[in-house]
Structure 1
Amino acid sequence: MTPDTDQERQNMHEFGIAESILAAIEHRAAGRRVRQARVRAGALLRITEPAINQAFTMVAEGSAAEGARVDLVIVPARLTCRSCGQTTTSPDPFVICPGCGGADIDTEGGDDLVLESIEMAEATHVPGNPRRDRGNPE
């Protein structure tokens, strides 16, 4: 089945990214419930926090990350103008050179997808003697 519209293609793109994020979360969480994840995504991925959270909500259903929120940090791409040599960074990799107005630009980076951190939900029961767990007063 092929997508019929640009919106459907974008949704498929975000679902693929959300599935990758979920796989990384599940690997790190090792079955523990997750409340939140912080993800660094390159500008070339062209995703937004609302869209990735919508896709993540759907793919995480029934997993340890069900109900978790994804905080998205967009990493700008590094752009170098081939005409004048000016280098800059931008969250929009499809810009013209701010120095000369040229459109012949090399793009570097901006395609990363990194799970920076996850926040676990509080445990309702910790097995063992709570008086002997580290951090509890005796």
Structure 2
Amino acid sequence: MHEFGIAEAVLAAVERRADGRPVRRARVRAGVLLRISPDALDQAFALAADGTVADGAHVELIVDPVRLTCGRCDRTTTSDGLVAVCPACGGTDLAIEGGDELVLESIELVEAAHVPGNSRRDRADPSGSA
């Protein structure tokens, strides 16, 4: 299950971006050539994130297609899988572009349930004196 290695890499990026704050969700964009299973990635991430700022966080996976250009007819198309022939001319001389990227797009932090301080007094004064 290569998703575990990917989950560890995503977790490292999430922890850097979160800077100690608890994380609710991470959005990851991955190329189709990485062949990542969304369910397997979510499970692997849950295991890797146990006890970290991302403990309990969900991973949203967006899969980007690969771009194919036919060397015979010069048609460019995209595919969500590996295509062996050009859909226009049947040619097999295909140049592959992209499809192997992995990007942490965003994280959603858990909102603080309580902010210390007395809202009726100066928040800069932690003792609460006026």
- TM range, smaller chain: 0.7 to 0.9
User: TM-score when scaled to structure 2?
Assistant: 0.84
Partner of 1:8: none
Q: 1:106: how far off?
A: 1.1
Range that drifts further, 29-38 or 87-96: 87-96
Q: Is the 8 A contact 2:66 2:81 kept in 1?
A: yes
Match of 1:32 among 13, 21, 29: 21
Residue 78 of structure 1 aligns to a residue in which SS? Answer: strand
Match of 1:103 among 92, 109, 114: 92
**Aligned pair count?**
122
Partner of 1:18: 7
- The higher radius of gyration belongs to 2
The runs of 4+ residues in structure 1 deviating greater than 6 Å are: none
- Residues 9-36 of structure 1, C-alpha deviations (whole Å, 9 max, x = no match): xx0x211111111011000001111111
Match of 2:50 among 45, 58, 61: 61
Unaligned ranges ≥5, structure 1: 1-10, 134-138
Q: Which amino acid aligns with 1:76?
A: P
Partner of 2:60: 71
Partner of 1:5: none
Match of 1:120 among 100, 109, 120: 109
Unaligned ranges ≥5, structure 2: 124-130
The 1-side partners of 2:119 and 2:92 are apart by 63
Q: Which amino acid aligns with 1:101?
A: G
- Residues 64-85 of structure 1, C-alpha deviations (whole Å, 9 max, x = no match): 1011111111111110112222
User: TM-score when scaled to structure 1?
Assistant: 0.80
Sequence identity (%): 60
Partner of 2:69: 80
